[in-house]
Structure formats: C-alpha cells, structure tokens
Amino acid sequence: MFKALFRTPRDFAILWVRLALGASLLPHGLEKLGVFDEDKGIGEAMSDAAAFMAQATGTPEWAGYLGIAAEVLGSIALILGFFGRFCALSIGALMAVAAWKVGGLEAGEVLTWWRDTPGATTYGSYHLLAVGAALAIVVRGSGALSIDRRIAPRPMP
C-alpha cells in the first residue's frame, strides 16, 4: 500500500506542473527562513514568519512552523519528485488556507488582483493556481524524471 503512493506514469506534463509549483513556492519558504534578509538570522526570521502566519490564519504558532516546512521541504521534494503526492497534498492544504484567510477568498475578493485597493491582499488567484497544480500531482503522481518513479514497485507506462 505504501509503495502505491510512489506509482506514477511517465507523464511530462505533470513534470512541468511539479517543477513550476516547487520552483514558485520555494522562494516564499526560503524568505521565511531569512535567506534573503541580511538583517535577521534563520531563527529570528522563522519565528517572525511563523508568528505572522499564525496571526494571519488564526492558527497556533506551531502550525506556522509546519507551513514553513511544507513550503521549503515540500518544494524541494516536489522539484526532485520525491514523495510527490504527500508533498503536493501538504502544499495544496497550505495554499487553500492561505487563499481563504490571506488571499481574500474569505472576504469574497478572489480574482480582483487588478484593483488598486490600498492595504488589500487580494491575490487569491495565485493560491488557487497552486491548489490546482497540487491537486493534479496528488491525482497523477510525480510524473516523469522523478524519484518516485524509481522507487515504485512497478512503474506505470
């Protein structure tokens, strides 16, 4: 049963979806680790990011740390095609919460990114695209050129 999670077809379309999702989300996670901020160390940047995520979503701070882990480790794993279904499910859940609580869906502001509203965070369409990409990977697997394909007991054609 566990190895069935790794079964994936040699699908190049899913490869591109997987790479796009991983590559677009990885900088967001690295930013929360302080990689792009010379003034903060990894601990301070991560603590600030986890506290912000908890405050923005109304969840405990430990959930913010899980979100950061999903963004960083999940993105790297997706790029490599390792344990793709699990990582995509984690990232999809994270992006669904972000779309609802931060991206404006809760306030009915989806797809209004073209409006110039001061202080508004109406960019839910990015989150929805990420959820859609994650769902495609959950359904199809990691696709071509993935570690999952090598691990699977019988690779799919």
Residue predicted with more confidence, 16 or 101: 16
DSSP string, the chain: -TGGGG-----HHHHHHHHHHHHHHHHHHHHHTTTT-TTS-HHHHHHHHHHHHHHHHT--HHHHHHHHHHHHHHHHHHHHTSSHHHHHHHHHHHHHHHHHHTSSTTTT-TT-TTS--TT----HHHHHHHHHHHHHHHHH-S-SS-HHHHHSSS---
Least confident of 4-8, 18-22, 114-118: 114-118
Q: Residue 4 pLDDT more than 80?
A: no
CA dist., res. 110 & res. 113, Å (int): 8
Mean pLDDT, the chain, as a whole number?
A: 83
What angle, 0 to 180 degrees and rounded to 10, lies between the N-to-C axes of helices 61-80 and 12-32?
140
Q: Residue 113 pLDDT more than 50?
A: no
Q: What is the pLDDT of residues 47-92, one digit of tens each?
A: 888 888 888 778 888 998 999 999 999 999 999 999 999 999 999 9
Q: Residue 130 pLDDT more than 50?
A: yes
- For residue 3, what are the contacts with CB-CB under 8 A and spacing of at least 6? 151, 152, 153
Q: What is the pLDDT of residues 8-40, one digit of tens each?
A: 889 999 999 999 999 999 998 998 888 887 777
pLDDT score for 52: 84
Band of residue 146 on the pLDDT scale cut at 50, 70, 90? very high
**Per-residue tokens: 22:** 């991983």
